[in-house]
Amino acid sequence: MKATARAHPNIALVKYWGKRDERLILPHQSSLSVTLGPLSVTTTVEFHAQRGDDVVQINGTLARDGERARVVSVLKLVRREARAAGRRAPGLAHVTSAGDFPAAAGLASSAAAFAALAVAARVAAGLPRDVRAESVLARQGSGSACRSVQGGFVRWNRGARADGRDSYGEQLFDAGHWPDLRLLVGMVSREEKEVKSRDGMRNTVATSPYYPAWAKDAEVEVKRLVPLIRRRDLEAVGELSERNAWRMHATAFAARPPLCYLKPETLSVMQACGRLRKQGVGVWFTLDAGPNPVLLTSARDEARVAAVLEGHGAASVVRCSPGGDVVVS
C-alpha cells in the first residue's frame, strides 16, 4: 500500500481568486493555467494496516499544525473513498514530500504538492486511476492543485453542485501543444508575503466592492482564452493574461484593508514588459499573490527576457515550459 507521484506546479493565466465554499474549496469562477515543467514535487504515501497518527514529512522536516492538518484531511477523504469502494480502510499513513525547486524561487509548491499527494494516496489505497476523482481530491487540499493533476493547459471548471463533484481541473491541451512557450519566473523579492492567498482571497470576497465584477469577468475571460491557446497566439494570450492579472490585483487593492502583493521591483518589471514590446520582443507578464512576476515569452526571446529580469534586480530566474501529467511510480 505504497505509491509515489510527481507533479508540476502551475501558473494561472486566468486566476482563481475567491471561494464560494471554504470547506470544500469551491471557487466563485473558473480559471485556466499552464503547468510549469521541469519543476516538480514528489510525494510518497505508504498506508499501514494499524491505526494511529499519520506522519507527514515535507522537505525533510516533520509537518505540524495547519500544514499537517491539510495533508491529514486529504488522507481522511481517501480512507472514506476506499471504504465506499468496498475496500478495507487503510490505517495510518507515512507521507514524505519534497520539491526539486527552492522555496526561494517564490513559486507556490502547494499546487504540485497536493496534486502529487492526491494521486499517490489514492493509488496507495488501491483505488483505480481516475483523473477527475484525483483532481476533486487535490482541490480539497489546495484549490489550485486541481489544475496540476494533468499537464499542459488545464481549466478548473467552476461547477454548480453543492458537493463539488463538478468542480475539477480538465486538460484542454497537453504539454506538447505549445513547446515553444516559455514562462520565466523572476525572483525580485525574497520576503515572506504578509497575507497568505487563502486569507487574502477571503478578505477580498468579503470586502472588495469589485468582487462580483471580478468573478463575472474571469468566467468570460476563460472562454475567450481557450481559442487563443488553441492557435498558439502568444500576443493574444499574453494580453489577456496581463489584463487578468491587473484585474485580480485591482480587486485585491480595493479590499479592506487593501491587499497589495506588488513590490516596487514588481511594478518595474511589469512596466519593462511594455517597453520591450515596443522594441519587438514578445513578452507579457502575469502575477500571482506575491511579488515575483512570471513572464510569458517564446524560445526565441527567452535569453533576452531573462537578461531583462536580471537587470531589474531578479536574484534568480527560473525558466519553465509546459509540463506533463502527474507521473506515478
Quote the least distance from Cβ 205 to ligand 2P0, whole Å.
Answer: 12
Q: Is 94 in the site for ligand 2P0 (CB under 6 A)?
A: no
Out of 6, 8, 15, 182, which residue is the one contacting ligand 2P0 (CB under 6 A)? Answer: 15
Q: Is 289 in the site for ligand 2P0 (CB under 6 A)?
A: yes
Q: Which residue is nearest to ligand 2P0 (CB)?
A: 143
Report helix angle 110-124 to 131-139, nearest 10.
130
Quote the least distance from Cβ 66 to ligand 2P0, whole Å.
Answer: 11
Q: Yes or no: say if 146 and 168 are a contact pair by the CB < 8 Å rule.
A: yes
As beta bridge partners, residue 284 has: 296
The residue among 47 and 284 lying less far from ligand 2P0, judged by its C-beta, is 284
The residue among 23 and 278 lying less far from ligand 2P0, judged by its C-beta, is 23
Q: Is 110 in the site for ligand 2P0 (CB under 6 A)?
A: yes
Kindly report the three-state secondary structure assignment for every residue of 227-242. Answer: HHHHCCCHHHHHHHHH
CA-to-CA distance for 279 and 281, rounded, in angstroms? Answer: 6
The residue among 44 and 241 lying less far from ligand 2P0, judged by its C-beta, is 241
Quote the least distance from Cβ 312 to ligand 2P0, whole Å.
Answer: 21
Residue with cell 489550485: 144
Closest CA to 283 of 305, 308, 261, 299: 305
Quote the least distance from Cβ 94 to ligand 2P0, whole Å.
Answer: 23
Q: Which long-range contacts (CB under 8 A, 24 or more apart) does 212-219 make?
A: 213/251, 214/17, 214/18, 214/29, 214/247, 214/248, 214/251, 215/18, 215/28, 215/29, 216/29, 217/247, 218/14, 218/15, 218/17, 218/29, 218/30, 218/31, 218/244, 218/247, 218/248, 219/29, 219/30, 219/158
**x/- string (CB under 6 A) for ligand 2P0, residues 245-284?**
----------------------------------------
Q: Is 221 in the site for ligand 2P0 (CB under 6 A)?
A: no
**x/- string (CB under 6 A) for ligand 2P0, residues 25-54?**
x-----x-----------------------
Q: Is 292 in the site for ligand 2P0 (CB under 6 A)?
A: no
CA-to-CA distance for 219 and 27, rounded, in angstroms? Answer: 11
Closest CA to 169 of 153, 188, 192, 147: 147
With the C-alpha atoms ordered 262, 266, 270, 272, is the resulting torsion angle positive or negative?
Answer: positive
Taking the alpha carbons at both ends of the chain, their separation in whole angstroms is: 13
Quote the least distance from Cβ 215 to ligand 2P0, whole Å.
Answer: 13
Out of 217, 221, 242, 288, which residue is the one contacting ligand 2P0 (CB under 6 A)? Answer: 288
CA-to-CA distance for 27 and 19, rounded, in angstroms? Answer: 4
The residue among 15 and 158 lying less far from ligand 2P0, judged by its C-beta, is 15
Amino acid letter, 270: M
Site for ligand 2P0 in 142-181 (CB under 6 A): 142-144
Q: Is 197 in the site for ligand 2P0 (CB under 6 A)?
A: yes
Quote the least distance from Cβ 235 to ligand 2P0, whole Å.
Answer: 22
Q: Which residues bind ligand 2P0 (CB under 6 A)?
A: 12, 15-17, 25, 31, 108, 110, 142-144, 197-198, 288-289
